Amino acid sequence: METRHVSVTDGDLLLMVGTMKGAFLVRSSPDRKRWDWGGPYFPGHAVYAMAFDGHDGSRRVFAAPESMHFGSLIRWTDDFGKTWTNPEAANVRFPEGSGSSLKRIWQIEVGGIERLWTLYCGVEPAALFESNDGGENWSLVRGLYEHPHREKWQPGGGGLCLHTVLTCLRQRRRGPILARFESRRSRGVLAG
């Protein structure tokens, strides 16, 4: 299967579509009369999370392809899919001795306007990771991972995952990071 690419210009609408069979970039001019498809990127790999970072003139698209053999990792492109990073090792991983291993990346969220190159990702099992260097390095947000009620959390239909991350984009000071999780027995929104 041949991979097609889109040419995105300022003012275009860009949709990022993750599927069980790869990722696609779909663009249209503001009139939305014609849509161009790019992809598939990572064919044969499930992509549960994608994000766009246009801060500071950047045009970076992040994706979290998942391999059945090698797990999930975060990759990015600065040219709308023509080239993608390919980390040699998983860039999102639990620390040694934590007793957890990454199953899936469910969400990628770009930091606010005062936090250039900051990213967050929600994963399964339910945890939040943060990167302050545009996705090169990731660290576990221990406040959520070591939450005193964590032992009581139960998985929902999608597993015990952190599937929604929202950042406060308009505050001048560091705004709260909101993380949402759901399970069969409880729902929660945690602010950090």
In a domain, 23, yes or no: yes
Cα distance between residue 184 and residue 12, in whole Å: 40
- For the chain (192 residues), the mean pLDDT of every run of 10, in chain order, is 90 93 93 93 95 85 92 94 93 93 93 77 93 93 88 83 73 48 44 42
In a domain, 70, yes or no: yes
pLDDT for res 113? 63
Residue 55's SS3 state is helix
In a domain, 1, yes or no: no
pLDDT for res 191? 42
Full-model pTM: 0.84
Number of domains in the chain: 1
Q: Do residues 60 and 53 touch, judged by C-beta distance below 8 A?
A: yes
Q: Do residues 108 and 53 touch, judged by C-beta distance below 8 A?
A: no
Name the residue range of residue 150's domain: 13-191
CATH number at residue 99: 2.130.10.10
pLDDT for res 153? 85
Q: How many CB atoms lie within 10 A of CB 15?
A: 13
